[in-house]
Structure 1
C-alpha cells in the first residue's frame, strides 16, 4: 500500500524500531482478555509485554466471577497501567470480609458466598483511548471511545466518549470536542476503516485543522 503511512501487519508483536512499543494483543493467551488491533502497551522490554496479562490485569479470576477485560483498537496504554478486576472485591456486609469461598467444599454455600460479592461485570475500554502512566482502572469500568486518562489517575466511574479525566478519583476535566463533533466521531468510527481508508484520510484523523 503506497501512501503517507504504512500500517504494519496487526499480528506483528513489535511494529516499530521505537523502543517500548508492543502490540499487546499478540501477547495475550487468556481467553477472557480481548484486545483490538494496533493497541499498544509501552514498557521497557518484551518480557514486560509477555507479563501484561498477569501483572497488569490484577485479581482476574473468571472461573469465579466470569468477567472479561475488553480493550478496543488503536489504544495507547502507558507503562504500569493496572486493570483491577472483580476478584479484588470482598463482601464487607458480612461479619467477615475474608474470602472463605476459596476453601469451601460445599458448592451451594460457595455459590451463595460468590453471589454476595460485589461484581460490576466486564471492564470495557473503547477505541482510540489514551491511558497515562500508572493509571488504575477499577472493576467493571466502561471507558468511552477517544477518551484520555491522566497520569496516575484512579478511575472509579465510567468515562464518557472523548472526555479527559484525571485525579484520584478521576473526574472529568473537559471534553476534547464539542457535543456535535463527538456525535459525528462516534458515527464515523474511523478505527473500523480499512488500512487503505485510514491511509487515504490520515490528514483528517491526525491534523488539528482537518476536523
Structure 2
C-alpha cells in the first residue's frame, strides 16, 4: 500500500513486498483543526521493504538498505544496512550486490 499524499520516489531495482505500507502523510495533532501534513518518501536503488514493514513520512531509504519483516522506519535508513524492529534499528551490514 502506498499512501501518496506527497512524492514517493522509487529508484531502480527497489522492492516493496506484500502488505508493506509507505506513508507520506499524517496530521498535526497539536492543532484543533487537525490539518494534514505531508512529506516525501524515497526508496533508494536496490533497497528492499519487506512484507508488513512501514515507512513513515519523510523517510529516505538508502541505496541497498533492507527494512525487515514488520519493521517500522521512523528515520532515514543508511545505505547497505539491514534494519529490524519497531522502531527500526540497524542489525547488520549488507553486502553490496550491484551487478
The residue aligned with 2:2 is 57
Instruction: Say whether the 8 Å CA contact 1:90–1:97 is kept in structure 2.
Output: no
The residue aligned with 2:45 is 127
| TM-score with structure 1 setting the length | 0.43
The residue aligned with 2:30 is 93
- Structure 2 residue runs without a partner (length 5+): none
Higher relative contact order (CA 8 A, sep 6+): 2
Q: 1:61-114: CA deviations, max 9, x gaps?
A: 3xxxxx20001111222111111112xx212222x2534xxxxxxxxxxxxxxx
The residue aligned with 2:85 is 167
Query: How far apart, CA to CA, are the structure 2 residues paired with 1:118 and 1:98?
Result: 9
Q: Which has the higher strand share?
A: 2
The residue aligned with 1:74 is 13
Alignment RMSD (CA, Å):
2.0
- Structure 1 residue runs without a partner (length 5+): 1-55, 62-66, 100-116, 191-204, 206-211
Instruction: Say whether the 8 Å CA contact 1:132–1:150 is kept in structure 2.
Output: yes
Q: 1:27-68: CA deviations, max 9, x gaps?
A: xxxxxxxxxxxxxxxxxxxxxxxxxxxxx112x33xxxxx20
The residue aligned with 1:153 is 71
Q: Within the alignment, does 1:137 sit opposite 2:76 as a pair?
A: no
**Equivalent pairs, count:** 99
